[in-house]
Chain A
Amino acid sequence: MNSPVEAISFYVFAAVTLGSAVGIVLSKNIVRAATCLLGTLGGVACLYFVLHANLLAAIQLIVYAGGTLILIVFGVMLTSKSPWAQFSPTRGQVAAAVVVAAMLAFSMCSLMLSADWSRPSGSLLESPKVAEVGKMLLTDYLVPFEVASVILLVVMIGAAYLARPEK
């Protein structure tokens, strides 16, 4: 790290992110879990800021914290009669969850252990120019961009169709 401030910030924001993630998993209250999700998304955005990826951080905040999270909280608020929902999973469900979690943990650990953590050359002191990102989106990465917009359009149409008033 270039300066102690960056190191401290990294550890602090990482702690916030991971702590909130743990909060989401362990919380028995749905709305509190959604609030912890805000902490996680915000923590990730702060990490992006530490890495000088300003554009990505701002977009993370607008799209995730300001959009997706609100929809999740909205859905939670409107559909649950009480936030203190009791989950009582069956033993089969617990077993399946343990198996999936173990597979995921194993694959992630092996990936992390085999990765090359040596420091890349060059510094990240400058955030990428927004104009360049925009140009790349419309030239090199045009197809994924258009596909994403088509997907969003389909989602909107589907949502409007599902939410139509019943005649």
Chain B
Amino acid sequence: MTELVLESRPDINADLTADQIRLEDLQTEEMLVNMGPQHPATHGVLRVVLRTDGEMVLEAVPHIGYLHRCAEKIGENVAPYQYIPYTDRMDYLAGMNDNLAFALAAEKLAGMELSRRAQLIRVVFAELNRIASHLVSMGTYGLDMGAFTPFLYAFREREMILDLFEAACGARLTYSYITVGGVTQDLPERWIDVCSEFLDYFEPKIDEYNNLLSFNHIFVKRTANVGVITPEDALAFGLTGPVLRGSGIRWDLRKAQNDLGYDEFEFDVPIGEGLKGTLGDCWDRYYVRILEMKQSVRILRQALARLPDAPGDAYDKRGKTMKLPADEIYYELENPRGQLGFYIQGNGSTIPARVKARGPSFCNLSVLTHIGTNCLLADIAAIVGSIDVVMGEVDR
């Protein structure tokens, strides 16, 4: 059994045996507590070593790597269209967005243009997956806080989204649907109508979630003023996504970068405003996700309206045989969890020389050491839940 040691305080060791004990003066002791890697509140295989004094956490150090699968090395052995399934498994809750990021990076590197239909379909699926991902984030956050019911409501709605995905591509979690050259197959009949029906059903549900969870007094007391990330800290730590926007900085790649295809859509970028506590607390980050779901619905309605008349093929076969020039590209996309970036270096053949993925959860998780000090043990669960990490893209 490995010893539990904290690098900053090697003098504290976890377990002392009976013959090492003497009766000492009355004092409470600092404990080293290990949270994870199997733990219901750490959203995957995350291990957090906590130095606690009673109920207060003095230091929190995350240990990662339990889900490392050498994804980047594998990228040097397969062609881009073959690498798409590996990107699925990075942020497995937002598979479409991962696929989209890598597909766009590869297409931009090779200089391939896509048809309008393919672009619109990709936007639709990316936004639907954003909603699904935020639903999971909201549900599991409620579950961490002890509210068991919103989790099931979120998954009830997510089931419908997954049914839509299954109708389009046959898979429920790891889609590999958005690929280099477009999407693997066009939408089935009536898919757009069913999707619109779902959007009509879903939009009032967001208000229901607000009533049930977001503005629930107990939930607010658990998450407001907890884990405050100041805007300066957010920029200094390189945070992206709702974590950054929760601290009040209005930065969204969909608006900042104009080659993703979002220019024609009208939508807002919600930011945290410290409504319930301090600017940049857990509640702000959570509420930003709720508002983003609303904006995603807006984008979806506009996209679905334009989809039936969009010309072109959904899939461009050149994606399979495309050669990557001896050039490099780093391309980022706004994922539900932040900015997922892919760096691809081509060398003239179909197989890249180097693939690197910048996982947003990896960068977002680094802020845990900063804000996980001087809080209570229950707050660690609140903080980790509000950062919304998925270990797949932390470890890759």
Contacts and interface: CB of A to CB of B under 8 A. Distances in A.
| A and B touching (Cβ–Cβ under 8 A) | yes
B16 A81 contact: yes
Contacts, number: 20
B18 interface: yes
A85 B23 contact: yes
B197 interface: no
A93 interface: no
B24 interface: yes
9 contacts: A78-B28, A79-B26, A81-B16, A81-B24, A81-B29, A82-B16, A82-B18, A85-B23, A87-B23
A128 B233 CA distance: 70
Contacts of A86: 21-23
B33 to A, nearest CB: 15
8 cross-chain pairs, A with B, having the tightest CB-CB distances, nearest first: A82-B21, A84-B18, A81-B21, A79-B26, A85-B23, A82-B18, A78-B28, A81-B16
Interface in B1-59: 16, 18, 21-24, 26-29
Interface of A: 78-82, 84-87
Contacts of B24: 81
A85 B26 contact: no
Interface of B: 16, 18, 21-24, 26-29
B55 to A, nearest CB: 12
The secondary structure that dominates the B interface is loop
B84 to A, nearest CB: 55
A31 to B, nearest CB: 13
A34 to B, nearest CB: 16
Given A80-B23, A82-B18, A82-B21, 6 more contacts: A78-B28, A79-B26, A79-B27, A84-B21, A86-B23, A87-B23
A90 B26 CA distance: 21
A99 B28 CA distance: 35
Instruction: With a 10 A CB-CB cut-off, give which of B23, B24, B27 has the most chain A CB atoms.
Output: B23
A87 B16 CA distance: 18
A48 B235 CA distance: 69
B13 to A, nearest CB: 12
Contacts of B26: 79
A74 to B, nearest CB: 12
B56 to A, nearest CB: 11
B387 to A, nearest CB: 29
A80 B23 CA distance: 7
Nearest to B29: A81
A163 to B, nearest CB: 11
A125 B24 CA distance: 51
A78 B55 CA distance: 12
Contact of A85 (B16, B21, B27, B28): B21
A4 B23 CA distance: 48
B161 to A, nearest CB: 49
A77 B23 CA distance: 13
Instruction: With a 10 A CB-CB cut-off, give which of B16, B21, B29 has the most chain A CB atoms.
Output: B21
Nearest to B25: A79
A39 to B, nearest CB: 25
B125 to A, nearest CB: 53
Nearest to A75: B26
B175 to A, nearest CB: 52
